[in-house]
Amino acid sequence: MRTVLSCPQTQPQRFLRNSIPPPTHSLQLHLTPTRISLSLKPPSTSLVVKCQQQQQQQQPQKTQDEGIPAEEVKILVKFKSRHNYIRVLEVSRKADHPFRGSRLLLLDGPGNIHSITFLFTSLTKTYFDVFATLPPILPSGPIALLGFGAGTAARLLLDHYPHAVLHGWELDPAVIQVAREYFRLGKLERENQQRLFIYIGNALNATVPNGFSGIVVDLFSKGCLIPELQEPAMWEKLRGKLRKGGRIMVNVGGSCVEPESRLRDGKVVMEETMRAMKEVFGKELFVLNLGNRKDDSSLALTGDLPPPEEWKKRLPGPLKCYTQMWMPYSA
């Protein structure tokens, strides 16, 4: 999930470590399905975060769309790398919000959230949890994570599937460095030396001997799905990396994703990506919509849809609800 933060800059950017005092303005986090978009808008200087919700029905308690007082959010680090505008935010445990006690990784201009972690649980109540439903319907073999971020999906899969072996690709080495320092990725690597392998480079060139049992695709740049994913040839290439019976699960974004360019629209890009996938996978393509509106945020899944009840039996309790949310995709 990606996050975007935009505001007027009057001073040069520096690498900061717990050195930014709490701002005096109010901070608002809006969570609508998929990626988290943080934008500081003058004159109210509110921070807007867009993200996905776990279920489509409304909840009586506070939701991710509610605001968070600025004094309950701390900026731990902020700098520009070769590929991203990296920010790590920490939400106070005292905050009356579903993200209380979390750390958020924001990348790129608009402020979409790319990773989230909590201290005592790997579950996030965001689209990352849907990724964790994939292993029970895969053949044996390694799983690829294309777009590793700070390791949110990796932590979920390692925590819930003790035999899972993961190979993750991340383009930006600075993201991995930040993940090791602020998201406990280093500890996760030490505890899973034979189960977690991380590579710096182009995720679209990911490969292992004999192929992957499953591929998780979460590839965004500048607040938008990368353009290669709107090409059927790329999905042919990715399908060729699978073992027999393997599947691909994709965060295809939606209207809640905020691109840097006004010429790009999250909903349109999502539809173009789904059409490209449809050309390759035909009837073996399913979509899961998150949020209050159908086009808010979506995930795609390839392969025959397994019986929901059988799938559900093999999942931890908090993940069971997702099995009945998948629908056949029709352009």
What whole-number distance in Å separates Cα of residue 269 and Cα of residue 110?
16
- For residue 155, being part of any structural domain is answered with yes
Query: Rounded to whole angstroms, how far apart are CA atoms 297 and 255?
Result: 7
List of residues 6+ apart from 252 with CB closer than 8 A? 225, 270, 273, 274, 287, 298, 299, 300
Rounded CA-CA distance 26/301 in Å is 39
The verdict on residue 68 lying in a domain is no
**Residue 225 falls inside a structural domain:** yes
User: Domain span at residue 170?
Assistant: 127-328
**pLDDT of res. 48:** 31
- Tell me, yes or no, whether 173 lies in a domain: yes
For residues 97, 122, 135 and 151, what is the CA-based torsion angle, rounded to 10 degrees?
100
Can you tell me the distance from the alpha carbon of 92 to that of 95, in angstroms, rounded to the nearest whole number?
5
Q: Is residue 37 a part of any domain in this protein?
A: no
| Model pTM score | 0.81
Residue 307 in any domain: the answer is yes
Q: Which amino acid is at 174?
A: A
Assigned domain for 15 exists = no
* pLDDT for position 292: 60
Give the CA angle between residues 295, 301, 304 to the nearest 5°.
130
Tokens encoding 238:
């990715």
Q: State the CATH number of the domain containing residue 198.
A: 3.40.50.150
Residue 199 within a domain: yes
Q: Give the pLDDT of residue 155.
A: 97
pLDDT tens across the length of the chain (331 residues): 433 333 323 333 332 222 222 333 334 343 333 333 343 222 222 223 333 333 444 444 555 545 667 888 899 999 999 999 999 999 999 888 888 999 999 987 777 789 999 988 999 989 999 999 999 999 999 999 999 999 999 999 999 999 999 999 999 999 999 999 999 999 999 999 999 999 999 999 999 999 999 999 999 988 889 999 999 999 999 999 999 999 999 999 886 666 656 767 778 999 999 999 999 999 999 999 987 655 578 999 999 999 999 999 999 999 999 999 999 998 7
Number of domains in the chain: 1
Dihedral of CA atoms 329, 221, 127, 34 in degrees, nearest 10, equals -80
* The pLDDT value given to residue 322: 95
